[in-house]
Amino acid sequence: MTNFVKLKYGLREGKLSHISSVPNGLACECLCPKCGSKLVAKNMGTLAAHFAHNSNAECLGAFESALHIAAKEIIFNHKALMIPPVKIKFRSGREDIVLIAERYIKFDSILVEAQVDEFRIDLLANVGEHKLAIEICVTHKVDDRKRRHLQNNGFSVLEIDLSSCTYDLAPEILEKIVLNDVSNKSWLVNQKEVKAHEFLMRSAKTIKSKVFRGKGKLIECPLGFTGSNAIKGFVRFTDCAGCNYALGISGINPEVNCIAGNKSLLAKIEKQHLKNSVR
């Protein structure tokens, strides 16, 4: 995204206003969302309507600031949002399990620019007993330290990526993108996913590999599978990578979190997955 793009939004009496909704010239009474200086509306003539700084200064990142403010305003005003599906992801190559299908949620309460300890959060919503931090990404993604802090303090974190939005986006299209699109939204943390994943991992058995002379490192399979070139009842960790029961594979001396001994639990969760996957 280039920084010197035509600015389509200005702050008028503290509210973000599109160029199409204000009088021309200084009568627009708008300020720059980034630097706070006076703007001139140029919405007549042959050039596409836009705001310019009255001082003629070049202001880096004014469009990005406007987009950030606009997205927060839209969510705050609607107090609702489409959220992407919540999926349990595994470090084994196994297919994700859809825990909750994508859906529209309404907030019981919402705050803009909330403080959580040392961290500033774009929007902080409550849905029942769930605490949801919503971060708008225009230029900066949520860093790992912030994500971990929020996760450890019981927040789910939803990131909305607006980095591909262009300066000429009409306000009603931006509203649709922010509220209804799910392709630009991702769960950096979802507490339900975290708990379900932990529960499944606790229910799985960690099987360490053993070294077999001439055969390398092999895993004793509780289902008695025999993998590629392996001894009967033993598999390579690469064989587990394609198995539905492998929830995690890790280490230089590979070990596998295998849930084959608790099939009924997995079946129960997968049944829910099937229900959630059908829309």
34 binds, among ligand SF4, Zn ion, none (CB under 5 to 8 A by kind): Zn ion
Q: Which is nearer to ligand SF4, 76 or 225 (CB)?
A: 225
Residue whose structure tokens are 């050039």: 47
Q: Is 225 in the site for ligand SF4 (CB under 6 A)?
A: yes
Q: Is 235 in the site for ligand SF4 (CB under 6 A)?
A: yes
Q: How far is the CB of 98 from ligand SF4 (least distance, A)?
A: 21
Please pick, from the candidates 1, 5, 35, 111, the single residue that binds Zn ion as defined by CB under 5 A.
35
Q: Is 8 in the site for Zn ion (CB under 5 A)?
A: no
Taking contact as CB under 5 A, which single stretch among the options 58-66, 84-92, 131-139, 145-153 is the one that binds Zn ion?
58-66
Please pick, from the candidates 22, 86, 177, 256, the single residue that binds ligand SF4 as defined by CB under 6 A.
256
Please pick, from the candidates 193, 239, 273, 276, the single residue that binds ligand SF4 as defined by CB under 6 A.
239
Residues that bind ligand SF4 (CB under 6 A): 207, 219, 221-223, 225, 235, 239-240, 243, 245-246, 256, 258, 260
